[in-house]
Chains A and B, each alone.
Chain A
């Protein structure tokens, strides 16, 4: 056994060929004086020599053929493509979903800070403050939808109000007879789009069933 832990560490570094010339010389000098360390180093070298003396084995001859027989018929790179070819429904669903996402994304267009108003009536848009104002004495009949702006009703709105990325500032005299819906957070917006989308699909399909029912009755 080496004479100290420190020397043992040095012997390992010597074995790993990590010493510079000076360190190497110092260790060699120490080993020539210290019997314990000399024995330890000798044993270590012998150990490595014994381990390295073991012969290399060759793999069994049939190993390549065994593996080649187990390879899948389809090249692995095309796995995904083949899977979709086998499942056309998933392909349709994936495409459909993609279109849906794109239409959603178009809602978040780059000119996102532009105020957009949908509705009919007398109002004016204060672009610098980002406010849509329905002035006092004016009344809007119908629904109104504002994107990227606040709404200040000083007059009257007879219909529903939808605010995307905006707030409703309630003025004392003004009033909204319908519902006010504020959609601000990103996920809320997605939910809102989904809701509209689903209600569209369902009203469409219920229309069709009604028609079908009628044709049966008459």
Chain B
């Protein structure tokens, strides 16, 4: 692990709280991105990211310095995200009607002040579509696919984060990839 992270963690363990802000700045985007992709909701993603960092701070003494810090941190974050998915009410989709309204769907809930240029709109729709397809995956495949294809982690690292043997990680990636192929091809 690089020496910068080691030095920061040593300072945090000594009681230097400000050092934790440095650590967060190094990892917050990655953690946020993983949990956003898993949850598909910006508010929940922010909530879970904050919770993950708080837990990392509270348990920093249990972190084994011989291992990669990001693996430990992502494990906390993915566990929290998976817990959140399990507790969540059934997913709703943007096309569903807002409860208590006749024909208002969730699209109308978003403000639409500045119309976006055509290509940006296309890009945004594409993003929404891919995210919606990722959200259709069962959570255990979802986590494996996100870590593999969005974070570009090795199968070994994914296994360490999800606490699974590499063979199981492979199976989940295969199934997730197959499910996405079918749904994206429709």
Binding site for B on A (CB under 8 A): 12, 15-16, 40, 43-44, 46-48, 50-60, 63-64, 66-68, 70-72, 75-78
Contacts and interface: CB of A to CB of B under 8 A. Distances in A.
20 contacts: A12-B174, A40-B181, A44-B177, A46-B184, A48-B149, A52-B149, A52-B150, A53-B130, A54-B131, A59-B28, A59-B46, A64-B25, A64-B28, A67-B20, A67-B54, A67-B57, A68-B17, A70-B50, A75-B15, A76-B61
A75 B131 contact: no
A198 to B, nearest CB: 38
B94 interface: no
A50 B150 CA distance: 11
Nearest to B52: A67
B15 A77 contact: yes
Contacts of A70: 50, 54
B157 to A, nearest CB: 14
Nearest to B146: A51
Interface string B164-186: 00000010011001001100110
A66 B50 CA distance: 8
Nearest to B155: A16
A51 B32 contact: no
A78 to B, nearest CB: 7
A70 B46 CA distance: 14
A55 B46 CA distance: 17
Nearest to A49: B149
B25 to A, nearest CB: 6
A54 B170 CA distance: 22
B15 A50 contact: no
Given A43-B181, A44-B177, A67 B50 contact: yes
A63 B35 CA distance: 14
B29 interface: yes
B102 to A, nearest CB: 34
A71 B19 CA distance: 12
A6 to B, nearest CB: 14
Contact of A51 (B21, B29, B54, B145): B145
B184 A47 contact: yes
A76 B50 contact: no
Pick from B13, B46, B181 the residue with the most CB of A within 10 Å: B181
Interface in B124-179: 126-127, 130-131, 134, 145, 149-150, 155, 170, 173-174, 177
Given A54-B130, A76-B61, A78-B15, A47 B29 contact: no
A57 B29 contact: yes
B4 interface: no
B31 A77 contact: no
A31 B36 CA distance: 37
B89 to A, nearest CB: 24
A63 B58 contact: no
B5 interface: no
A67 B18 CA distance: 11
B118 to A, nearest CB: 18
Contacts of B20: 67-68, 71
Contacts of B15: 75, 77-78
B80 interface: no
